[in-house]
Structure 1
Amino acid sequence: MKEGHSVINVSILKSTGGQLVEVEDKVVAEDPLEIIIKHGRKGSRSSFPLAVTMRTHGEDHELALGFLFTENVIQKRSDVSSIQQLSADQILVQLNADIFFNEAEMHRNVYTSSSCGVCGKASIDRVTMAIPYVLKRTQPKVSTRCISQWPDVLRKRQSMFEKTGGIHAVGLFRQTNLLTLREDVGRHNAMDKLIGAALSDQTLPLDECAVLVSGRASFELVQKALMAGVPILAAVGAPSSLAIDLASAHNMTLIGFLRKEHFNIYCGAERILRH
């Protein structure tokens, strides 16, 4: 039985003290969302199935906008004339007539899994898109004390994690203030939702803010954060080698293993105040 659209109640057997007891548990809902693009001049518009992502229901419009922005399909909210939820698992994004969309280049009709993001891209060059913003090498400044507070602040606001223990979160911080929080079964979806919200609010670039992700820091999460002009990306888990390389190449501060008073700085230490 569904609790809203994001959480499902299921009957399980729980082992306690050697005894099996039937109880009700809450799990995160995971459903496909197909993102369809409609583009072209009036009278010759075409529909193109861009991607399928496994996501948690909620903020589908933000997810679609953020995905299109980080995939370099659009540069601003006004590039989209309308967004229509065709069904629970299908969304149609209408591009303005003057927006060029190359179906041949984008023709991958990917299966985007909740664990790994967009899979099957042709090459690293395809993933490393033109980053629209140049980060200021030393700004903003954030203290180690401030950074250490982020995980607790994020956790206290994670309503779905509190219910299920099985969902990722991405938080946008300015110093210790949590400005935006998005949750999803997929890390990359949560990031796209957050960026989509910023795109809708016309607050890009996010060059005075930091982003905290609840899992590891993958190459794709760094790429998405750079697309939004994020200068500091922190993760509760570990970064990958490609994530470090990409962050370093674009003067991003990358933090991993953020747990209370302990964390590692992999690059961009000049933004961190040592107190």
Structure 2
Amino acid sequence: MLTSVERDGEVDRVAVEEPLEIRAEGAPVAVTMRTPGDDGELALGFLFGEGLIDGPRHADLDAELSANVIEVGGPLARRPPDRRFYVTSSCGVCGKGALEEVAVQAPPLAPGPRVARELLADLPERLAQPAFERSGGLHATGLFDDAGALLTAREDVGRHNAMDKVIGRALLDRRVPLSELLLCVSGRLAFELVQKAALAGCPILVGVGAPTSLAIELARDRGMTLCGFARGGRVNVYAGPERVG
């Protein structure tokens, strides 16, 4: 979602950023700053990434409360932390009470497909980013099959939100675990993106930007193929080279 603003006597298109309160079982669980749109997918992807749900749920904006409040059907798989999550558009793990809450355990990943290096390098070119092209202000995540066909793409001011939306859509489409699919993100590869991909069972994660040290460590620990600097027909492989042909 974009809106128009004036600057220097001209009109610019900028990304919308608004809070979304995610509720489950009638109680607030988290507040995240996001770009409105696909909010049900965002809520499901977020709760799945926190280990609070294990499959698709009904999720609706609550007309009685606010357009920025969404209610997810229960019950939850576990009790949420006593401290509510507050997630900014720039940080997907801010507000966690302890590192243990971040390090949600994911099972070892499936062997997954073997993919040509050239295809991995080309994924960012196949990632649809129409709102970014008009505003320059959004991140994107795309879900691809092992032949490089784009299945789902979502944009958001928060890179972690874009991935949550894609994973939420995959939950609704009953594609999770993503054991034969690939994820590609439009920016750098931080810890929380690797964690979300691992929890969704995705064996290959590609990014346009650089990975962090903790992202590489987590990818190697979970047996994930992690690729960064995918641009200009080239890509660096930081973990899981056995899946790269």
- Residue 191 and residue 262 in structure 1: after superposition, are their counterparts in 2 closer, same or farther (change >3 A)? same
How does the TM-score come out when normalised to structure 2? Answer: 0.94
SS in 2 for 1:266: strand
Q: For 1:202 and 1:51, locate their aligned partners in 2 and report how far apart those are by CA, in whole Å.
A: 24
Counterpart check, 1:12 vs 2:7? yes
- C-alpha contact 1:9 1:25 (8 A) present in aligned 2: yes
SS in 1 for 2:237: strand
Matched to 1:92, the amino acid is E
Counterpart check, 1:134 vs 2:108? yes
Partner of 1:41: none
How does the TM-score come out when normalised to structure 1? Answer: 0.84
Runs of 4 or more above 6 Å deviation: none
Partner of 2:131: 160
Counterpart check, 1:115 vs 2:90? yes
- C-alpha contact 1:84 1:92 (8 A) present in aligned 2: yes
Partner of 1:92: 71
Partner of 1:172: 143
Q: For 2:105 and 2:198, locate their aligned partners in 1 and report how far apart those are by CA, in whole Å.
A: 10
Q: Please state which structure has a larger fraction of its residues in strand.
A: 1
- C-alpha contact 1:50 1:107 (8 A) present in aligned 2: no
Q: For 1:250 and 1:60, locate their aligned partners in 2 and report how far apart those are by CA, in whole Å.
A: 29
Residue 12 of structure 1, CA deviation: 0.3
Using the aligned pairs only, state the percent identity.
Answer: 49
- The C-alpha deviation readout for 1:29-71, integer Å capped at 9, x for no partner, is 0000000111xxxxxxxx3211110000110000001111110
Query: Number of aligned pairs?
Result: 241
SS in 2 for 1:135: coil
Counterpart check, 1:74 vs 2:53? yes
Which residue of the other structure, out of 162, 172, 182, is the alignment partner of 1:200? 172
Q: For 1:52 and 1:136, locate their aligned partners in 2 and report how far apart those are by CA, in whole Å.
A: 33
Unaligned runs of 5+ in 1: 1-5, 14-21, 39-46
Counterpart check, 1:146 vs 2:122? no
- The C-alpha deviation readout for 1:111-138, integer Å capped at 9, x for no partner, is 210011131223332212131x43234x
| Bigger Rg over Cα | 1
- Residue 100 and residue 188 in structure 1: after superposition, are their counterparts in 2 closer, same or farther (change >3 A)? closer
- C-alpha contact 1:134 1:250 (8 A) present in aligned 2: yes
- Residue 171 and residue 129 in structure 1: after superposition, are their counterparts in 2 closer, same or farther (change >3 A)? same
Q: CA RMSD in A?
A: 1.3
Partner of 1:27: 14
